[in-house]
Amino acid sequence: MAKAGGSTPQNYSEAERTIKRDGIKPVYLLAGRKLWADSYLRDRFIDKVKEQFKGDGASDYTLELFHAASDSAESIINSLSTANLFTDRKLIVIHDVQRLSQQGIKGLAQYTKSPNLDNCVILVSLNFDARKKWYSSINNNLMSVKIETPFANKIPQWITLFAKSRGKNISRGASGLIAEFSGDTLQMIDMEMEKLSIFVGEKELIEENDVKEAIGFSRQLSPFDLEKYFANKDLNWTLSAIDNMLQRGEKPTSITITIYNFIMNTLIYMEAGSNPSARWSPREQNKKDAVKYWRRTDLIESLELVRESDRKIKQTKIPHRVILTELVLKMFSKKGEPVV
């Protein structure tokens, strides 16, 4: 494993190339202003580290996940300094590192001065601010990676990359339609490219008509209605709305996209806080209602539930109504209980 890197932040592409060229650094910081909105790059980077661990011919490793907001600083620091009984190496991921207590930051700073070079520690920081004291205490002993939503002019490159990773080429017109439909959320674009690659089968070139037929987002669909029911954790109406949409012939993947957008918009609203100058609107009210009924940790966990349901819809013969009902029931595990 490579030695610790310097303090100069790298963009995502540079950091990924560094892994391939130089191997894994012992400590990384993945930082961004809207990290949950950019969760695709965060997860992709962690997957690249996992691939390196598996591909270097050494023994297996243990993955340990922590959330600084809920796990004690003592348990996190203990994990850094103790070996695992069953494997030689550990990959330790610490989310929301900016929420660590003073004691936790002190222990982390001490560890980064002399890290275990067989292990890898990935620190994840939301609402990153390089001026904070905690960052300056560890900055010189890790590699910082900027996790940011690509600018609009970079999205076509990502669409082409997603297509090539599935053995496909894509026309400029088709790429433009996907960008228009999916916006700049890489997770959404990746989901759409997976759907398209299955839809076109053996065909190598994805064209505009393929996008229109496969995505086919019906203008009759009312994402706002479903968003409203989700915001208020209204289980009965949410299930009724999904049933009605399926009966009208709506694509189940359009419904998962609506749910995914609801989660992302609510997370961003929670992190940014309300805007006192914002005019009242139904969607603004939905955001306020969602904060009452949804916990941040539940929403984050729900992102993976949506991805899992989306995969089931595309890859299994399970009835779509069953998959979507199961998704809603898991997300609504505490029906109508306000967040205190």
Q: What is the pTM of this model?
A: 0.61
- Sketch out the chain's domains with CATH numbers: 10-146 (3.40.50.300), 152-331 (1.20.272.10)
Going residue by residue through the chain (340 aa), what tens digit of pLDDT does each one get?
Answer: 655 544 567 888 888 888 888 888 999 999 876 655 567 888 889 988 988 887 665 557 888 999 988 889 999 999 998 877 777 788 999 988 888 888 898 999 899 989 988 899 999 987 676 777 777 778 777 888 888 878 778 889 999 999 999 999 999 988 988 887 776 678 778 888 888 888 899 999 999 888 877 765 433 446 677 888 899 898 888 888 888 888 888 889 889 988 998 898 899 888 876 666 566 666 777 888 899 899 999 999 999 999 999 999 999 999 999 999 999 999 988 544 443 3
What is the C-alpha to C-alpha distance for residues 80 and 64, in angstroms, rounded to an integer?
10
Task: Scan for tokens 């139904």, then name that residue.
Answer: 282
Number of residues assigned to the chain: 340
What is the C-alpha to C-alpha distance for residues 211 and 196, in angstroms, rounded to an integer?
7
In angstroms and rounded to an integer, the radius of gyration of the C-alpha atoms of the chain is: 21
| Residue 114: half-sphere exposure toward Cβ, Cα within 13 Å | 2
What six digits make up the tokens of 154? 């970079």
Closest CA to 254 of 264, 263, 246: 246
Torsion sign (Cα): 190, 194, 196, 201: positive
Closest CA to 22 of 5, 9, 41, 34: 5
Residue 232 has phi, psi (to 5 degrees) of -95, 5
Cβ-count burial of 233 within 10 angstroms (0-12 exposed, 13-18 middle, 19+ buried)?
Answer: buried
